[in-house]
Structure 1
Amino acid sequence: MERKNKQTFARLAERFSYGCGDFGCNIIYTAMSAFLLFYYTDYAGVNAAAVGTIMLISRVFDGISDIIMGVIVDRTKSKFGKARPWLLRMCIPFAISGILLFSVPTDWAETPKLVYVFITYNLVSTVIYTAINVPYSALNALMTQDAYERSVLSIFRNLLATAGTLLINTFTLPLVEKFGDNASAWTKTFCVFGVVAVAAFLINFFGTKERVKPVAQENGQVKDVPFKEGVKALFQNKYWIMMTGMLALFFLMYSVNGGATVFYAKDILGSRDLVATINGIFNVVQIAGMFFIAMLVKKLGKRNVFAVGLVLDIVGMLILNFSGGSMTLIVVSSIIRGIGNSCGGATMWAMVSDTIDYGEWKTGYRTEGLVNSACSFGYKIGNGIGSALLGVILEAGGYVGEALVQTPEALFSIKICFVWIPIVVYVIGLVIMKFWNLDKEFDGILAELQARKAGNRK
């Protein structure tokens, strides 16, 4: 009994340690999404349009660096494994780069400031964040091949990612005020967050273990996969193609929908204060739902749980669209969408990990780093397109920020961004899931991989 309790505690500790990685990542990711432009314009005195151009250009560099880092992870050989060494190597540079991001010299002229922004933004986004996030994303597939355990790890990842987001959203502005509410206050604030991020990554590193080894080895050593062969293998992996397309669409949708929330609340529902209600209930329910999704995954499988989540997302969106501003229906919608998103959060990244085993079975190449980096490239492209698409649709609808009353066309453009684009993406997701049979095939694939491994040892 005591041994069983120790094993249970060890499993929980490792799951928590794994989740701490995305807690650390989200400290910078959320800060860049929620506060960086505000800091640049209101505290550092940098032109918003110029910053937007820098961010758009940097997306291209970011996507390329993802692929490069994926190859590096697949070729990493150390006593700690392929992914974990990078968590240890990059955690302190990650914290320092985050501090530099919020340390624009305010007494510099406009052009030197923009040069500083370009260098530090790309240092964080293109180099440091990629060098720690791509290995972290690959870690799930390296820790276990158990399909259920991968889902549980994904649940802990999403729980702690959300906790990291809440930390930044809750404490950033109060800390800035406490440190003097000026440009240097932001630097001090991210010194604090940097220490927290380093601690999270150290827990992630010391609390996890890589156990999965590729079948194909030479003289007992893992063989490097040539880049050309690795990419070719990706496009022979139908399930990887499905998930990459899904991620690109979903992050496009998240970008459009998230950016349109304040417009929908203000101009459709009648009060921008409803943003807090819509997002607050949604996030709380999503976190609570995570604790129950594992049981559903065990019973129904990842594909079916993901599909149920998509249906709930569609229902929740339709209720909100036809709520007429009713607070009761807004709350009901947020609850339903929160449950739907918890289904997706618990399964999506575990499904990506499952495509790695399918790819190894299909092609003979196991490329955790390349699979996850190529997925990352796909969803970053989707995110970038989504950010641009929001502005294009609002502009096409004739939205005017200063107007007290928007035209019917402008209101419809807001609904397209907040409601109808997400619904279309959810429907496409359901269609893709119709062709997802990996849950049924997975046990047989693992058995054959184990048989190959046993044969190689003889």
Structure 2
Amino acid sequence: MISVKEKVAYGLGDTASNFIFQTVMLFLTYYYTDIVGLNPATVGSMFLLVRLIDAVTDPLMGSLADRTRTRWGSYRPYLLWLALPFAIISVLAFTTPDTDYQGKLMYAVTSYIALMLMYTAINIPYSALGGVITSDPDERVSVQSYRFIFAMIGGLIVSSFTLPLVGYLGEGDDAKGYQLTMLVMGVVGMCLFLLCFAGTQERLKPEKPLSMPLIAQLKSVWRNDQCRILCLVSVVLLTGILLRNSLTIYYVKYVLNRPEDVTLFVTIGMVGGLIGCAFAHPLAKRLGKIRLYILLQLGAGAACLVNFFIPVNLWLVALAVHFVWGFLLQMSSPLLWAKMADVTDYGEAQTGVRLTGVTFSTIVFFIKVGVALGSAMSGWLLAFYGYEAGSVTEQVSNGIAFSFCILPALMSVLVVIIMRWYTLDTQRVEAAQQQIQAARLSATH
């Protein structure tokens, strides 16, 4: 059994990560279009193009972490080494230079690339750490549940305090406000990463040094059919989530016509997600990870569909439905990450080589593809509807509502369809672990 203290320590790492991840999901599109003044179609394309870099950096970082050998383990050291650089880059990414449009665009592209590189460098090892804390399938769900409870606490802090802090610290200058707000979050995030490093242990260690070339590692991971399914699920799921989250500010301001309630609306969704994460472990024990995951995606899709038909004057109903969406969707997050650890075991049973970092980084890459597609689609769709900052027509308002509700619902349904081919239930995971132990015992005799 893993102690509650260690689970909390692990979760604090995702609180720190979500100071960036949730800020990117919720505010970066708006920051670039309405604060920096960039064209929304350009912003959408930038989000997608930067992900081409992740196609290289994610597996490289996963392979580097797998090969790392220190007295602290393979993955934990990166939390110590990169906590400060992570904080610095976070501030730089939300700094607006006093230049012309081209200068601002070049700075946005460069700083966003730097931010994503740093996020990869610290988050890939952090994610892989969750796969080596324990081998118990049930405890893995518990560890990931704690992780996402604290991730949602990070998201709750972002949603509740970002805009008020921007106003307070900026004193009327939103560009300055975003910069100083990220300074505060960066410093706190750095401290949380250090606490995560100090409070966790790596219990599952490779039997021998990894000598396999990176290309061979990637081919080995890609032959894992269950890994491929999780990759596809990840890109579809995150496309829907990011599309909805990126348009939240626009939806509340221009569809519901309640610009003063953006923070409340976003926060309610985060509170729903926080509560949902707490229910993931007990419900997964009762229903099983696969069945529960499918039911949650169906529920989240239904909530989005209902959202579309709510009259704009029924503010409290819209608020309640957004709470339900957050509750159902985020309850599924710990299940997805627990399945990643299961997929790693399944891959080792197939090949005899443990590739925790590369497996996690491969799936995380597809998560980032989904993040990029969702963010890019939000910019492209705003441009397609004819959005201009501060001036919204009925056509634009209707387009925002459709993209905020119907498209994420379709993504959830597609996830359910893909999950038909995922078969790693508890029995199959335990069989894979027994096969791994037998192989290791055989190698020692």
Any idea what the Cα deviations from partners look like across 1:107-150, whole Å, max 9, x if unmatched?
Answer: x5665555444433322212x11100111111111111111111
State the Cα distance separating 1:86 from its structure 2 match. 0.9
1:435-446 to structure 2, matched below 5 A, reads 435-439=421-425, 440-446=427-433
Give 1:61's aligned residue.
53
State the Cα distance separating 1:227 from its structure 2 match. 1.4
**Alpha-carbon separation, structure 2, partners of 1:302 and 1:115:** 44
**Alpha-carbon separation, structure 1, partners of 2:300 and 2:294:** 10
1:47-196 to structure 2, matched below 5 A, reads 47-48=38-39, 54-106=46-98, 114-126=105-117, 128-181=118-171, 182=173, 186-196=178-188
**Alpha-carbon separation, structure 1, partners of 2:345 and 2:227:** 10
Which of 408, 413, 435 in structure 2 is aligned with 1:427?
413
**Alpha-carbon separation, structure 2, partners of 1:331 and 1:453:** 53
- Equivalent AA in structure 1 for residue 420 of structure 2: K
Give 2:374's aligned residue.
386
Return closer, same or farther for 1:178/1:71 CA change in 2, 3 Å cut-off.
same
Secondary structure of the structure 2 residue equivalent to 1:426 = helix
Secondary structure of the structure 2 residue equivalent to 1:224 = coil
Return closer, same or farther for 1:386/1:232 CA change in 2, 3 Å cut-off.
same
1:281-292 to structure 2, matched below 5 A, reads 281-292=268-279
State the Cα distance separating 1:242 from its structure 2 match. 0.7
1:238 equivalent to 2:225? Answer yes
Alpha carbons 2:25, 2:246 under 8 Å: kept = no
**Alpha-carbon separation, structure 2, partners of 1:145 and 1:225:** 23
Any idea what the Cα deviations from partners look like across 1:337-381, whole Å, max 9, x if unmatched?
Answer: 233213312211111121100111112222111112111221222
State the Cα distance separating 1:298 from its structure 2 match. 1.4
Secondary structure of the structure 1 residue equivalent to 2:131 = helix
State the Cα distance separating 1:170 from its structure 2 match. 2.8
**Alpha-carbon separation, structure 2, partners of 1:261 and 1:75:** 41
Give 2:245's aligned residue.
258
Secondary structure of the structure 2 residue equivalent to 1:87 = helix
Give 1:3's aligned residue.
none
**Alpha-carbon separation, structure 1, partners of 2:414 and 2:48:** 27
Secondary structure of the structure 2 residue equivalent to 1:347 = helix
**Alpha-carbon separation, structure 1, partners of 2:63 and 2:363:** 13
Any idea what the Cα deviations from partners look like across 1:373-392, whole Å, max 9, x if unmatched?
Answer: 11122122222222333344
**Alpha-carbon separation, structure 1, partners of 2:326 and 2:33:** 33
Alpha carbons 2:44, 2:380 under 8 Å: kept = no
Please, which moves more after superposition, 132-141 or 152-161? Answer: 152-161
Return closer, same or farther for 1:33/1:138 CA change in 2, 3 Å cut-off.
same
Return closer, same or farther for 1:419/1:36 CA change in 2, 3 Å cut-off.
closer
Please, which moves more after superposition, 247-256 or 165-174? Answer: 165-174
Give 1:307's aligned residue.
294
Larger gyration radius, structure 1 or structure 2: 1
In angstroms, what is the RMSD of aligned CA positions? 3.0
- Count of aligned positions: 440
Any idea what the Cα deviations from partners look like across 1:270-295, whole Å, max 9, x if unmatched?
Answer: 65667556544332222123223211
Which of 207, 212, 225 in structure 1 is aligned with 2:204?
212
Return closer, same or farther for 1:129/1:400 CA change in 2, 3 Å cut-off.
closer
Any idea what the Cα deviations from partners look like across 1:47-75, whole Å, max 9, x if unmatched?
Answer: 45666655443222233211211111121
For structure 2, the 5+ residue unaligned runs are: none
Alpha carbons 1:311, 1:340 under 8 Å: kept = no
- Equivalent AA in structure 2 for residue 169 of structure 1: S
Secondary structure of the structure 1 residue equivalent to 2:205 = coil
Q: TM-score, normalization: structure 2?
A: 0.87
Q: TM-score, normalization: structure 1?
A: 0.85
Give 1:4's aligned residue.
none
**Alpha-carbon separation, structure 1, partners of 2:382 and 2:164:** 32
Give 1:457's aligned residue.
444
Alpha carbons 1:309, 1:343 under 8 Å: kept = yes
**Alpha-carbon separation, structure 2, partners of 1:48 and 1:413:** 18
Alpha carbons 1:285, 1:335 under 8 Å: kept = yes
Alpha carbons 2:220, 2:351 under 8 Å: kept = yes
Secondary structure of the structure 1 residue equivalent to 2:73 = coil
Give 2:15's aligned residue.
23
Secondary structure of the structure 1 residue equivalent to 2:333 = helix
- Equivalent AA in structure 1 for residue 224 of structure 2: N
State the Cα distance separating 1:192 from its structure 2 match. 2.6
